[in-house]
Chain A
């Protein structure tokens, strides 16, 4: 076997790809079909319905029959939904590999969205008009800075107080959402400069929003570089694998830990920017329960909650699996309310599978 193929088989994420493939085939097979009106492009770039004219000259609107899962619109939707979760999951992966956890990502996402929205609204068409581009840049900056600062606060408290990250981020989860609520008085905030929305919703062909997708790819690549090519990433693995040994090797454990929470917060900020652009509004209730999906993506993607193991690509594939399941629930016509139950069960199943796998590997080692 050529080395390339062998590497592909040994490739840690190949199992995830297989799961995605199987899920895709199953969803396609069971989704059934849907009849949708047929559109065509006009010469000036707009869309218009297609009509068929029969022998008697009657024009009837044309329909096309599509697979509910395997069609361009649905896949584009899936890709967009995945990217919001996947971007945060890359940040979460780094935290989990360092042996920590961040329960506050959903709240950081909400606070960053809300603060960004307030800036965009303030300088938007309904407020003190600023050059639209400058207003957008300011809004984006506020989003990212809020995310990073929230992460810094998490990391700082975890390192300085020596309290388990679960506790600190559990508290932060409530506090940050509370701040978002107080800041907005529970109102939805919209009225942004149109440019942001136009940029993020820029579509390629059939409703495929490429911008969130591209951002996800960039974040994944950056995460991959950080974890596997930079010294900082190596330190993260070392700390997650054995914090004491890392300290004994001269690694500044506190500084590295601080960094991983900042990155997780920043990732939530990036997602918040995309959501502002995509939905054009924000409320303090945004991203409720995202921590479940994000942690689920990381765990399904091969991160070990004991630390020291995981990869950026893995968690992005994990996010895709979670999102496929969520979208599958809709497509298969299962009651929406079951989605949390199913995702929760998937997380537990993934961990059990991982434990079995570790156990098998250990046994192989012993027998060898």
Chain B
């Protein structure tokens, strides 16, 4: 009998159907991969199991018994735990305190029994062979170590099912190895693991079964030996990738618009020199932590510690100043649109006009007619699907939110667009529209610098791709040499075998 079963799980968020009748089963003592594109619903499913979200419809069964954890605590009681990417602990408390937070050993009178606390924490850490000082503050640990503490907490409280959401995404190679060893040990002990990731190679190395989700729907559940990475990719995408050449490639690139000269920021990136010409889409690739977002943010004047020069149309602009960047007609579409890109409580019109207020106002008064016509123009041009200009942005789907975030800079009439993760959390249909739009903007002579974690996106869109590794420029790949392998080599720092 299956250890864990999902039966027609459905979950709806404002504006988007995150999961649509997902059903599959997981046998005990296996590692089950959950894969899908961004927004496919893999994390949502994990969070429903761990009680972070509750499903709108459908049923989960653990050993045949229906379960519906209302919150993470209820899930814990059922033996289900989740290991998050985000900080799940109190950073200013010790490892031991965090591990026992839910059930502190007490002496008479409500005093914490410190020796018992430490002993129990040590025991929990030892059970997963983690070499971590129980007295260290959580905030001083690396992400990898903190993840180990999370796993120790899960195992120590008797979890039988552990959901790991992108566990390796911010780990170093060595830490990833350690994690793998641990996962195998846990499996041997009879624990069931759900491994949410989009790193194909890891899944094939580690997991027994794989479930592919696409746009919230279940596509396939197969045993790992019975499938291949290529097969999984086509299941994720649901169609062959159309190798359509963007139109901007056919046009000659114009004059140089943006140049970064020896741009550096301590601890983030150093000595970045690059240029983008009118009509070009230049990709910026790199692993997590390579300094991609940090670089474009610094170019936009957001990094107070940045040194080096930013030149627009051959003229240096004041560094570390957003006003100077705006005046030079630079725009930044940030990585995290909910936190950095949009004011979710304001409507489409207000968000579109947000960066253009100085242009739209006369003597401090917002010219409302002008504002409305501007917002309306870009709403139509970007085909934003919203009931009206007055719709609150927080209720729109990811794709439409992203379009509004982009409209903000188009309304400002930027010549140079720094675009960080253009399609994160955007559904497939809107992705294609955003690609077409970026191509169109390049054709109009705008200069685009695009950061993305999705290599196929960069390979499809860009004129050339620059690769960052550990905060430094590792190389440039022209379109003629485009391949995932070439990029991955540069990103990971692996020399070509034949060299």
Q: Which residues of A contact B (CB under 8 A)?
A: 229-232, 234-235, 237-238, 241-242, 244-252, 308-309, 362, 365-368
- B360 to nearest A CB, angstroms? 7
Bound complex: CA A291 to CA B332 (Å):
41
- Size class of the B contact interface (CB-based, 8 Å): 20 to 34
Instruction: Pull 11 A–B residue pairs with CB atoms less than 8 Å apart, ordered by A.
Output: A229-B366, A229-B368, A231-B358, A232-B364, A241-B346, A245-B341, A249-B355, A250-B355, A252-B323, A365-B14, A366-B13
Q: Which of B340, B360, B365 contacts A244 (CB 8 A)?
A: B340
- Number of A-B residue pairs at CB separation under 8 A: 80
Q: Check B345 against A241 for contact (C-beta < 8 Å).
A: yes
Cα of A172 to Cα of B360 in the assembled complex, Å: 37
* Contact between chains at A366 and B343 (CB < 8 Å): no
Chain B residues closer than 8 Å to A235, beta-carbon distance: 357
In the assembled complex, the CB of A244 is this many whole angstroms from the nearest CB of chain B, namely: 5
Q: Is B474 an interface residue (CB 8 A)?
A: no
Does the CB pair A249–B408 fall under 8 Å? yes
Q: Is the CB of A230 within 8 A of B364?
A: yes
> A366 with B14: in contact, given A245-B341, A248-B334, A250-B322 (CB under 8 Å)?
yes
**Cα-based distance from A231 to B359 in the complex (angstroms):** 10
Report the bound CA distance from A234 to B408 in whole Å: 15
Looking at the assembled complex, report how far the CB atom of A131 sits from the nearest CB atom of chain B, in whole angstroms.
Answer: 35
Question: B323 contacts A250, CB within 8 Å?
Answer: yes
Q: Within 8 Å of chain A (Cβ to Cβ): is B342?
A: yes
B326: chain A residues within 8 A (beta carbon): 250
Residue B234 interfacial (CB < 8 Å): no
Q: Which residues of chain B are within 8 angstroms of A362 by Cβ–Cβ distance?
A: 14
Q: Complex formed: what's the CA distance from A67 to B38 in Å?
A: 67
What 16 additional pairs, Cβ within 8 angstroms, besides A241-B346, A246-B354, A365-B15?
A: A230-B361, A230-B365, A230-B366, A231-B360, A231-B366, A234-B354, A238-B346, A247-B322, A248-B340, A249-B408, A250-B355, A308-B343, A308-B346, A309-B345, A362-B14, A366-B12
Contact with A along B355-380 (1 / 0, CB 8 A): 10110110011101000000000000
> Considering the chains assembled together, what is the distance between the CA atoms of A253 and B446 in angstroms?
29
Whether A242 contacts B365 by the Cβ 8 Å rule is no
B318 to chain A, nearest CB (A): 13
Selected from B13, B339, B358, the residue in CB contact (under 8 A) with A245 is B339
In the complex, residue of chain B having the shortest beta-carbon distance to the beta carbon of A309: B345
A248 to B326, CA, bound (A): 10
- Contact between chains at A249 and B12 (CB < 8 Å): no
B376 to chain A, nearest CB (A): 18
Residues of B within 8 A of A309 (CB): 345
In the complex, are the beta carbons of A248 and B302 less than 8 A apart?
yes
Q: What is the CA–CA distance of A251 and B354 in the complex, to the nearest angstrom?
A: 8
CA distance A261 to B326 in the complex (A): 27
The chain A residue sitting closest to B339, CB to CB, is A244
How near does chain B come to A343, taking the closest CB pair, in angstroms?
28
A241 to B344, CA, bound (A): 7
Most buried by A among B343, B345, B350, B368: B343
User: Is B395's CB within 8 Å of the partner chain A?
Assistant: yes
